Every structure is written in C-alpha cells, then in structure tokens.
C-alpha cells in the first residue's frame, strides 16, 4: 500500500475512448489491465468522467459544415472539434466494465456545460468552474496524486497541469496512459510539458515496487 496522502486519479476510462469507441484512442484498452494492477495500492481512488450534453459545443456535428479535427473559437477559447462522444446517459459515456471500480470513492464529471470544454478533471478549459475534485482531495489530506488514463495529450495532460497548479505533487504513470496524437509527436510533447511543469514520470512497475506489490 502507498501512504494515505497519495491518491490515484483514473482519467476518462470510458467506452468512447477505447479503440472501438466514438473518439478512439489507439491502444486505449491496454490501460485498463494496468489500472487494475495499480488500484489496490491506493487507499483513495477517484475517477473523472467526460459527461457531455448532446448539444455540446466541442462536437463537430453541432456546427454547420464543420468536421472533427477542425479548430473553431468557442466563447473566446480555441476549441478542437471532436466526434460526438461521451453523451450523458449513453453506453459510450460509461466507465469500462473491465475496470476494477469497487474502490472508486468518487467520480468527478466534466464537460457538462455545452458552452465550454473540459479536459482537466479539476477545471473547465477556461478555468471558470471547478469540478470540486481539488477541494475534495484536500479535505481528505491528499497532497500527492498519481494520474493514469486517456488521453495523454488532452485530459491526462490538463489534469496533471491543474493538479500541479493546485499544489499537489503529481506523478504521471506513463505506461498507464495512451494518447490521441492528432499531430505526430503530440504525446511526447505532452509528457515533456508535464515534466517541465514539475510532474514526476514513473512506470506502473516502479510504483508497484514502491508499494510493495508485484508488477
């Protein structure tokens, strides 16, 4: 077991982000078994869930003549348009069944406001509203978070960056993440950005060894 001040954040482990989903992350399914080996090492496990209304502004389908991958301005922020994904109440938005969900204490939903996207599990992309995750973790004495999930170059990256900004020590579990790589090199650049901002990068086996568990 890792000490009580360390929490694990599972980012967006939802059907729509698996290779067969609406917004497929290549090899996204590979993250699930790694997550399952890590989960028992943590006393506090939380998850984020992309949870959009059907009229969400990040969906290309909600803008005339726009396609996924194009960039628009959405309420003053640059917005990449995505395929329809993680619509509230749909199967695609559910956490993957194969994920060991028993010890997840709390799920923080994001992207619920149709006017703004939300990559980070802590804040929307304009830092206008908090999801309450930072406060919730701090109330429980958490000072360090370990982050895994999908996708490395979007929701994982911004969760890590916001975590650091909120004053948490943050570790990215590199082999328990996969990225979109819309432009080749995005994933590698995201890791460099996270390290540059102060995040530690570790592998799941390193963490399991620290926790006294077998990889």
Active site residue 86: no
Query: Cβ distance 20 to 157 under 8 Å?
Result: no
Choose the stretch contacting Zn ion; rule: CB under 5 A; options: 33-41, 43-51, 142-150, 207-215. Answer: 43-51
As given in the structure block, the two tokens for residue 28 are 């996204």
Active site residue 110: yes
Considering the complex, what minimum distance in angstroms separates the CB of residue 86 from Zn ion?
5
Cα–Cα distances in angstroms (integers) from residue 10 to residues 43, 75, 183, in the given order:
14, 29, 24
Choice among 29, 153, 155, 157 that is catalytic:
155
Q: Is 106 helix (H, G, I), strand (E, B) or coil?
A: strand
Choice among 12, 50, 153, 162 that is catalytic:
12
Residue 124 interacting with Zn ion (CB under 5 A): no
Nearer to Zn ion, 60 or 169 (CB): 60
As given in the structure block, the two tokens for residue 45 are 């496990």
Estimate to the nearest angstrom the gap between the alpha carbon of 17 and the chain centroid.
11
Interface residue with Zn ion, options 29, 50, 124, 153 (CB under 5 A) = 50
Choice among 16, 110, 157, 162 that is catalytic:
110
Nearer to Zn ion, 17 or 42 (CB): 17
- DSSP assignment, residue 156? I
Considering the complex, what minimum distance in angstroms separates the CB of residue 106 from Zn ion?
20
Active site residue 67: no
User: In degrees to the nearest 10, what's the CA dihedral of 7, 180, 198, 193?
Assistant: -170
What are the residue numbers of the active site? 12, 110, 155
């Amino acid at each position: 077991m890792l000490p009580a001040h360390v929490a694990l954040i599972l980012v967006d482990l939802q059907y729509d982000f698996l290779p067969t989903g609406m917004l497929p992350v290549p090899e996204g399914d590979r993250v699930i078994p790694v997550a399952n080996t890590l989960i028992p090492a943590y006393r506090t496990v939380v998850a984020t869930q992309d949870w959009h209304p059907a009229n969400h502004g990040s969906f290309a389908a909600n803008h005339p003549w726009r396609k996924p991958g194009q960039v628009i301005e959405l309420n003053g922020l640059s917005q990449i348009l995505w395929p329809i994904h993680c619509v509230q109440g749909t199967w695609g938005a559910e956490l993957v069944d194969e994920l060991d969900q028993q010890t997840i204490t709390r799920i923080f939903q994001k992207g619920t406001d149709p006017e703004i996207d939300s990559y980070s599990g802590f804040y929307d992309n304009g830092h206008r509203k908090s999801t309450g995750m930072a406060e919730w973790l701090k109330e429980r004495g958490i000072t360090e978070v370990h982050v895994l999930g999908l996708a490395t170059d979007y929701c994982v990256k911004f969760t890590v960056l916001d975590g650091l900004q909120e004053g948490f020590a943050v570790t990215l579990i590199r082999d328990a993440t996969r990225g979109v790589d819309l432009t080749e090199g995005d994933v590698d650049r995201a890791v460099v950005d996270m390290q540059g901002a102060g995040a530690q990068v570790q592998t799941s086996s390193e963490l399991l060894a620290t926790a006294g568990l077998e990889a």
